[in-house]
Each structure stands twice: as C-alpha cells, then as structure tokens.
C-alpha cells in the first residue's frame, strides 16, 4: 500500500513548535521594548479638571515649585491642596468659571480629581527629597515646566533613564540654590566637569546601581 504522506511530514510537529517559540519570543521582545514608558508615556499631556498653566504661574508670576509642592524637599511629591490654590484665588479671579471646581472643592471638602502625569510603577521606590537635596533639579526629569501651559511628560522615566543618571551624576547635578530654578544650568555645563565631580565627591553622592536601590 502506498504511503499517504511523505516521510518528511514527521518533522512537521517539531517545525511548528520551533516556529511558535520564535513567534512568541519576537512578539514578547517587541511588546517589552515598545510598550515601555519610553514609548508609551513621553508626550503624555492629560487634560486636567481645572486648567492650570505653569507657564503663567511659574514662568510669568515666578511661583517657586515648593509653594504648591510643599513637601518635595522633605518627604516627597505632593499634589497641592485646594486651600493652596485658594490662598491666592480668594482674592484673584474669585468668580472665574474656570475655578468653579476649586471653589466647590473648598466648600465640599472633596479633593480636586487631578490627573497624575508622572506615574512611577508600584514596584519602584522613588523619593523626591533624596534627589532634590543632592542637587538633582526638577527640570532634569520634568522638563521646562515653567514654559508649559499643559504639563507634559518629557522623559521616559524608564529604568535606563534612571540608571544613566545614577551612573554619571556629575552630568546632572546643580548647585543647591539652582535645584528649583528651571532655567539654571548643571554644574558641568556652567563650570566644567571637574567642578561637577568635586560637587559629587564633596556631597557624597553615590546613587545605587543595584536592583535593591529602587526595587524594595
């Protein structure tokens, strides 16, 4: 009786298994690479429930970052409270329709549902105070917020982005007086690499590069 299938058909299950493994690996690599924050969040600029222009308040009026983000150099990031907004707006633009939600929040006690722009994964430990107290300026991660009418994520906040800074902090640090000045230069740009390295040495800046430094 003639054979219905050629002998080579016996290799078909193994070939299909190999092709399937290759396809899964390629798909996994592609998703892992292209769906990281570098690609999915850079440029993210959500519409907030209350229109707030940092270009107006910070760039034009000169508000210091710490006025609204009051715990940034002691504990960490904090969204400003409604009362912080009303410290000024109980005298300025008191009837503005754009601020209706702020006034309602003050009366009701309900928080304004701000949309977070820069969100770190739950498995990442990050302390703003450690960074700003060691010369890492706000602009390094958040960009020129003082020029933004709508806050936009400018950096990927990926592991690679963080490690680039941890491996060469001398390229990112500023004098402590310039940390909250979004128009300031790094020490390396202003005074040269040797001055920046001295600053890193004198301030005992030794960013962790091990997994446990950021994953606890």
Integer Cα distance of 210 and 166 in angstroms: 10
CB 171 within 8 A of CB 135: no
Tell me the mean pLDDT in the region 170-187: 97
More confident residue, 106 or 7: 106
Percent of the chain surpassing pLDDT 90? 78
The answer to whether residue 85 sits within a structural domain is no
What domain count does the chain have? 1
**pLDDT score at 40:** 81
Per the structure block, which two tokens stand in for 132? 């700003």
**Given a cut of 80, is residue 39 above it in pLDDT?**
no
Contacts of 154 (CB under 8 A, 6+ apart): 42, 142, 143, 144
Please name which of 65, 100, 92 lies closest in space to residue 80, comparing C-alpha atoms: 65
* Mean predicted lDDT score pLDDT of the chain: 92
- Mean pLDDT, residues 162-181: 97
Helix (H, G, I), strand (E, B) or coil at 25: helix
Q: Which domain holds residue 150?
A: 40-48+120-214
Give CA angle at 175 (197, 54), nearest 5°.
130
Residue 163 domain flag: yes
Instruction: Give 101-106 contacts, CB < 8 A, sequence gap 24+.
Output: 101/49, 101/50, 102/50, 106/82
List pLDDT tens digits, range 8-31: 777 878 888 899 999 999 988 887
Rounded distance between C-alpha atoms, residue 50 and residue 97, angstroms: 10
Q: How high is the pLDDT of residue 112?
A: 95
| Cα 118 to the center of its chain, rounded Å | 4
* 168 inside domain: yes
35 belongs to a structural domain: no
C-alpha 63/C-alpha 60 separation (Å) is 8
Residue 44 has pLDDT above 90, yes or no: yes
Q: For residue 170, is pLDDT > 70? A: yes
Cα–Cα separations (whole angstroms), residue 169 to 89, 144, 164: 40, 20, 8
87, part of any domain: no
Residue 152 lies in a domain: yes
Judge contact between 75 and 81, C-beta under 8 A: no
pLDDT of the residue at 2: 56
More confident residue, 38 or 42: 42
Kindly state whether residue 84 falls inside one of the protein's structural domains: no
Residue 15: both structure tokens together:
């070939």
pLDDT digits (tens, 9 = 90+) for 53-78: 999 999 999 999 999 999 999 987 78
108-144 pLDDT, tens digit per residue, is: 999 999 999 998 888 999 999 999 999 999 999 999 9
Give a yes or no: residue 1 inside a domain.
Answer: no
Confidence of residue 3 (pLDDT cuts 50, 70, 90): low
């Amino acid at each position: 009786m003639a054979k219905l299938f050629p002998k080579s058909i016996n290799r078909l299950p193994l070939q299909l298994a190999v092709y399937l493994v290759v396809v899964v690996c390629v798909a996994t690599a592609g998703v892992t690479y292209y769906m990281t924050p570098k690609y999915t969040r850079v440029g993210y600029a959500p519409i907030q429930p209350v229109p707030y222009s940092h270009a107006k308040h910070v760039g034009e009026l000169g508000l210091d970052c710490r006025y609204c983000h009051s715990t940034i150099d002691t504990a960490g990031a904090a969204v400003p409270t409604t009362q912080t907004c009303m410290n000024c707006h109980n005298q300025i633009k008191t009837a503005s329709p754009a601020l209706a939600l702020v006034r309602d929040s003050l009366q009701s006690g309900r928080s304004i549902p701000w949309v977070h722009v820069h969100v770190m994964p739950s498995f990442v430990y990050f302390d703003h105070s450690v960074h700003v107290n060691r010369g890492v300026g706000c602009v390094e991660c958040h960009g020129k917020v003082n020029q933004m009418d709508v806050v936009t994520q400018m950096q990927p906040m990926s592991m690679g982005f963080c490690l680039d800074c941890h491996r060469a902090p001398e390229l990112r640090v500023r004098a402590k007086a310039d940390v909250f000045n979004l128009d300031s230069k790094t020490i390396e740009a202003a005074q040269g690499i040797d001055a920046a390295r001295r600053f890193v040495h004198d301030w005992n800046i030794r960013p962790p590069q091990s997994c446990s430094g950021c994953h606890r």
